[in-house]
Amino acid sequence: MARSYGTATLTLTVTEAITLNSKDEGQTHSHTIASVSDIYRRTESIPTSETTVLGFDGSAVGKGQFVEGNVKYLRITNLDDTNYVALFFKNENSDEVCIKVDKGQSFILCPDLSSGVVDVMDANTAGAATKAGLGDLTEVRAQADTAAVDIEIYMALT
């Protein structure tokens, strides 16, 4: 007999808290994602050579491999207190973008709430990226700056 799990609603809250010149300039934004059935949470050591940390596909599931349509939220946090990590995002068209995530910082990818990481990114030179060129995210790789860093991957799936 197959086991069935329930679902729950994930609440995301981003808060910026600051007081400047005795005035509260902070902001809070909350958002919910319904029907979350799985959370993937992992701390991984990233070397100074490029390494694949996540893969996405239409149907394959395995270690670090997820069904692209099920991904509804992705956060990658650099847990290091000294070095940055470079994150490389690649789509089905072999377009790539590299994002620097400095020490203690996070990168949040907000996939489509209906279709996950299907048709979510395009990257081209000299402003040639287009909405029509959006492709499925297929891979996330990481590379530490001058010494290995730990990253935390937190992902919500339906």
Structural domains of the chain ordered from first start: 38-157 (2.60.120)
According to the model, what pLDDT value does residue 4 have?
A: 61
- Note the pLDDT tens digit of each residue in 49-72: 999 999 999 887 778 899 999 999
As a whole number of angstroms, the distance between CA 158 and CA 67 comes to: 10
pLDDT in tens, 136-155: 999 999 999 999 999 999 99
- 58, 67 Cβ separation under 8 angstroms: yes
CA distance readout (Å), 21 to 18, 24, 25, 26: 10, 8, 9, 13
Single pTM value for the model: 0.92
Nearest to 153 by CA among 101, 94, 112: 101
Closest CA to 112 of 93, 135, 128: 135
Ramachandran sector of residue 64 (left: φ over 0; alpha: ψ -120 to 50; beta: rest): left
Which tens digits make up the pLDDT trace of 17-38? 999 999 999 999 999 999 999 9
pLDDT confidence of residue 115: 95
Residue 127 has pLDDT above 90, yes or no: no
